C-alpha cells in the first residue's frame, strides 16, 4: 500500500470511493461532488485536502480528507480529519490506519497541536481502529 496526495487523474476512482462513502452513511452528496473534488485539488485553497491509498496494483482503495484550522486555545493550528473511507471488501487490511497515520504526518509537518475527527456511534468497526490510534473524548456534537 502507498498513501499519497490525490491528483487530477484520480478523479474516476475517487468518485467510486466517494459514492461508497455516501452509501455507507446513507446520504446523497452527488450535487456537491464536482465542487468537492475541485476544492480537494485546489492548491491555493485553505479548504480540505485529500490523501488516497493505493494497493500494489495502483488501484485506489481508500481516501482521507482533512483540513487545517486555527483555534482559540493554542496558537498552533489543529487538523480536522473530515472523511475516511476504505473499500469495504478490504477493511481490516490496514488502509484506515495508513491513512490516519499519513494525516498525522501532514499535521505534524504543518505544526498542528491536535488531530481530531468525528464518527457515528454505530460505526463499531471503525471505532475499534480509532481506539488503537487515538483516544476518545467526552465531547458531544450539536448542530444547526
- Taking only the tens place, the pLDDT of each residue in 93-109 is 999 999 999 999 999 99
Instruction: Find where cell 485539488 sits.
Output: 41
Residue 111 in contact with residue 77, Cβ under 8 Å?
yes
Q: Which of 65, 34, 35 is nearest to 49 (CA)?
A: 65
Measured torsion, CA atoms of residues 104, 126, 2, 111, in degrees rounded to the nearest 10: -10
Domain ranges of the chain: 2-133
On the question of pLDDT at 45 being above 70, the answer is no
Q: What beta strand segments (E) does the chain contain? A: 2-5, 49-54, 60-69, 78-86, 114-116
**CA distance to 22, 23, 29, 66, per residue, from 26 (Å):** 6, 5, 10, 21
- pTM (global) more than 0.75: yes
Question: What is the rounded distance in angstroms from the CA atom of residue 115 to the CA atom of residue 127?
Answer: 16
Q: Which CATH class is domain 2-133?
A: alpha beta
> pLDDT at position 140, please?
85
Q: Over range 14-37, report the average pLDDT.
A: 95
List of residues 6+ apart from 18 with CB closer than 8 A: 29, 33, 36, 63, 85
Instruction: Find where cell 456534537 sits.
Output: 141
Q: Over range 69-84, report the average pLDDT.
A: 95
Amino acid at each position: 500500500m502507498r498513501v499519497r496526495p490525490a491528483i487530477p487523474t484520480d478523479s474516476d476512482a475517487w468518485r467510486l470511493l466517494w459514492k461508497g462513502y455516501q452509501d455507507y452513511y446513507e446520504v446523497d452528496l452527488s450535487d456537491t461532488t464536482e465542487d468537492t473534488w475541485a476544492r480537494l485539488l485546489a492548491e491555493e485553497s485553505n479548504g480540505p485536502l485529500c490523501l488516497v491509498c493505493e494497493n500494489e496494483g495502483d488501484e485506489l482503495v481508500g481516501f482521507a480528507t482533512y483540513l487545517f484550522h486555527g483555534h482559540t486555545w493554542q496558537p498552533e493550528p489543529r487538523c480536522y480529519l473530515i472523511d475516511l473511507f476504505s473499500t469495504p471488501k478490504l477493511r481490516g487490511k490496514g488502509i484506515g490506519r495508513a491513512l490516519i497515520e499519513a494525516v498525522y504526518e501532514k499535521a505534524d509537518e504543518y505544526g498542528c497541536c491536535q488531530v481530531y475527527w468525528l464518527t457515528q456511534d454505530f460505526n463499531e468497526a471503525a471505532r475499534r481502529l480509532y481506539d488503537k490510534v487515538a483516544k476518545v473524548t467526552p465531547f458531544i456534537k450539536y448542530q444547526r
